[in-house]
Amino acid sequence: MINVCDINVMKPLLAEHGFHFSKAKGQNFLIASWVPEGIARESGVTRDVGVLEIGPGIGPLTQQLCLNAGKVCAVELDNRLKPILDLTVGEFDNLEIVWSDVLKLDVPALVKEKFGDLRPMACANLPYYITSPILTALLEAECFEAVTVMVQKEVAVRIAAKPGSADYSAFTVFCQYYAEPELLFDVPAHCFLPQPKVTSAVITLRVRKERPWDIADQDIFFRTVRASFAMRRKKLSNGMASGFPELGKTGAAEVIAACGFDANVRGETLGISEFAKLANEITRRRQA
């Protein structure tokens, strides 16, 4: 197997194929083999698992996943990488490459088509310019057992943040609604070519089999969350009144009181069960 993380192998390989990194496609390739090895090991991928990899690049993580998984389906946008991937991962008969923009794919349909009875998981060193849309698509697909990804460290910290902390955001609530996050390890910038400006981190999201909240209307729930974070430094009632204009300031205050929360409560201190309570109260009033 070609060690594609070895800079003395990678550089001539790229040069031979006239390949130049595309910043627009978020191309920062791994040059430290402990990183893809660590991602594959920590992801829990085994022979009974089908893995969707996003952005194989020249294949460092793909190689590790193919060694451990039942099947790997890797989606890559940049078809200039085809002749290189033929050399670096062509030997694996449990690999299929789909040449496409992952955001244009029907992920649940792809998973069903490619993985059959295998347990579906997703794994990637994500292109950072579209981290949030890809994670959103992977979680909303509701078909993976776990999603293990490398992202900018500040994004990983945000995903795993606790209520009341500076990093807690609407995106935190979105991710934790679907999954339980665990920060795995940091990856310094010198592990990539070209080097990004930021530190990266690997995080695993174990998708919840059952969500422990009784939420009457999921759309209202996510509207409530967005409204609650829209005016971070103001009282929750201000954000709620602007996110739900039909409630007005009085209605927003009534909803907050009906849930038993302090009138001065701030949205960023609430947990998912509290957002669920607010959302259910709004749903109840809309149906009354």
| Beta carbon of residue 150, minimum distance to ligand SAM (angstroms, whole number) | 7
Asked if 14 interacts with ligand SAM (CB under 6 A), we say no
- What span, in angstroms and rounded, lies between the C-alpha atoms of 133 and 131? 6
Residue 240, Cβ density class (10 Å: 0-12 exposed, 13-18 middle, ≥19 buried): buried
Q: Does 149 bind ligand SAM (CB under 6 A)?
A: no
Q: Does 182 bind ligand SAM (CB under 6 A)?
A: no
Q: Is 223 in the site for ligand SAM (CB under 6 A)?
A: no
Location of structure tokens 């009341």: 164
* Closer by beta carbon to ligand SAM, 98 or else 166: 98
- Contact pick of 17, 25, 114, 285 for ligand SAM (by CB under 6 A): 25
Give the burial class of 25: count Cβ atoms within 10 A of its Cβ; 0-12 exposed, 13-18 middle, 19 or more buried: middle
Question: Which residue do the tokens 């989606």 mark?
Answer: 75
Determine which helix (DSSP H) or strand (DSSP E) holds 122, and give its type and residue range: strand 119-125
- # residues contacting ligand SAM (CB under 6 A): 22
Contact between 127 and ligand SAM per CB under 6 A:
yes
Q: Which range, of 27-35, 42-50, 113-121, 173-181, touches ligand SAM by CB under 6 A?
A: 27-35
Give, for 40, the enclosing helix (H) or strand (E): helix 34-43
State in angstroms the smallest separation of the CB of 229 from ligand SAM. Answer: 27
Dihedral sign from CA coordinates of 192, 170, 109, 106:
negative
- Candidate ranges 12-20, 50-58, 212-220, 234-242; the one touching ligand SAM (CB under 6 A): 50-58
What letter would DSSP give residue 20?
A: -
Residue 30 near ligand SAM by CB under 6 A: yes
Which residue's beta carbon is nearest to the bound ligand SAM? 55
Q: For residues 128 and 151, is the Cβ–Cβ distance under 8 A?
A: yes
* Residue numbers 53-112 binding ligand SAM by CB under 6 A: 54-57, 60-61, 75-78, 101-103
Using the rule CB under 6 A, give the single segment among 23-31, 114-122, 139-147, 247-255 that binds ligand SAM: 23-31
What's the CA gap between 54 and 136, in Å, rounded? 14
- Reference 151, options 138, 164, 166, 140; nearest CA is 138
**26 in contact with ligand SAM (CB under 6 A):** yes
The smaller minimum CB distance to ligand SAM, of residues 60 and 243, is found at: 60
Interacting residue ranges for ligand SAM, rule: CB under 6 A? 25-30, 54-57, 60-61, 75-78, 101-103, 125, 127, 130
